[in-house]
Amino acid sequence: MTAIGTGSTVAVVGTGTMGQGIAQVALVAGHRVRLYDAASGRAGRAAEAIGQRLDRLVEKGRITSQERDAARGRLSPAASLAELADASLVIEAILEQITAKQELFVALEEVVAADCLLATNTSSLSVTAVAGPLRHPGRLVGLHFFNPAPLLPLVEVISGFATDETAATTAYETAAAWGKTPVRCTDTPGFIVNRIARPFYAEALRAYEEQAADPATLDALLRDGSGFKMGPFELTDLIGQDVNEAVTHSVWQSFFQDPKFTPSLAQRRLVEAGLHGRKSGRGWFDHREGAKRPEPQTVPPRPAPEAVALHGELPRPAAVLAELIEEAGIKITREPAPGESAGFLRLPGGARLALTDGTPATSARQGDCIRFDLSLDYRAATRIALAAPQPASEADLAEAAGLFQALGKQVSVIQDVPGMLVARTVAMIVDFAVDAAARRVATPGDIDTAMRLGVNYPGGPLEWAERLGARWVWDLLDAMHRHHAGARYAPSWALGCRADLQERVV
């Protein structure tokens, strides 16, 4: 089955920001679009708002005035569901309540033709459950657009337990015909993006609760240290703390309170206080007029060491640092690593400097060692975190900071927590992605595409698994698992299998 033709009518139920955005996408693609909202007058106001957006597209040169006028002629508000009878596709974008969605689709079944495709834009509810009360659940599919729908390319096409393959294929082809990048996935809590992205928020919140650093510093480390477009605290302020926390809670409940998805108490308190982020004026940061954004904690300039000793080889994710040190004019002498320990740098004062491996800097088993955090791109990174053992020598810490400053990096010192921040966050995202691929939630290619386009990640998590090494990720999570109660950091069996396979290939 092919995409729904442009001669067909598309109906959108729900005229909030998302509903208007979806309607605009279908309209610009050439369809007749009917808008319906249960609240009197809202559909008409939404049609006017979409018309104003079309005006702005003309001003920006993205469509012609003739195309705008034609699109306006194809757009009409509907006063009742009965006016959607000729629709070939109805997309629901109402409130995230399972009962409300079920009642809507049951009512739509009485109105639309038998071959009309029904779609829900839910971001966190079960597509299977939404379709449950229908006489013909096979024609209902998930079409999860990302906000703002006219700008963001990703659309998750979700097949519920009863969804017909032809319905899913038609939805996929239609989204592609609208200029979107669709990905297919099964009906799992959070689908692709909201499932795999949970650690990006959760680990930063957990590090904050562990007093590793303040929100501004944690944001800077993920943003400036590894290329994420926004830090988790500023991003949840933009999304809305209430919205982000609700999705986290929904996914956690849907996975039967799996500890890997446990919500944050700190975020819950923020929501309870009404500090929802930008829309309320305050969240993790103060967004009121005239408020000054706090700066990340940054070590003042320190002198660079003239030479360091490299014992063994640095772990695969940090191997490029040896090149960067030499390029900065700092001499490297090479020594064997003692015993079976991972490679590390010896500073002039005698301290060891090593990539975090999931153990704390203060470790009786591994020996005290200043830890530096992971970066997904050490060349491009502009900030690196250090964690010092207790008690720490200020002179040793100054040498470590001076070394990274000589490489052009700003340095933030955080408290000694296992896995630091970037490493634990990336490792958990990789594990979630590998697990999702193994469970056939989506294909590996669709998973990486979804995370790049849906949340602007600087790469795909399965690509990271190859580049960093699945064994390094597994070892880091296993070490964190031994330092924390519960199963939050227990690496998945799928990650272990991937690590074994990579080693056999090598």
Catalytic residue numbers read 123, 144, 156, 194
Q: How far apart are CA 423 and CA 499, in angstroms?
A: 17
Phi, psi of 404 (to 5 degrees): -70, -35
Phi, psi of 125 (to 5 degrees): -85, 160
Who's near 398: CB < 8 A, 6+ residues apart?
A: 302, 303
Residue 296 in tokens = 């990340």
Q: How far apart are CA 29 and CA 466, in angstroms?
A: 38
Amino acid at the residue 87: A
Query: Nearest CA to 307 among 291, 283, 325?
Result: 325
Q: Where are the beta strands (DSSP E) in 409-459?
A: 410-414
SS3 assignment, position 21: helix
Compute the CA torsion angle 173, 175, 181, 184 (nearest 10 deg): -60
Only one residue has tokens 């703390």, namely 241
Q: How far apart are CA 453 and CA 7, in angstroms?
A: 29
Element (H, E) at 435: helix 422-438
Query: Nearest CA to 429 among 452, 398, 412?
Result: 452
Class of residue 82 by CB neighbours under 10 A (exposed 0-12, middle 13-18, buried 19+)? exposed
Element (H, E) at 33: strand 32-36
Give buried/exposed letters for 343-378 (b at 16+ CB in 10 A, else e). bbbbbeeebbbbbbbbbbbbbeebebbbbbbbbbeb
Query: Nearest CA to 354 among 391, 395, 394, 396?
Result: 396
Q: ∠ CA(156), CA(158), CA(162), 5° rounding?
A: 170
Return the bridge partners of 414, or none.
Answer: 387
Only one residue has tokens 């390029």, namely 327
Residue 148: is the preceding peptide bond cis (ω within 30°)? Answer: yes
Only one residue has tokens 């060891």, namely 352
Who's near 202: CB < 8 A, 6+ residues apart?
A: 248, 261, 262, 263, 264, 428
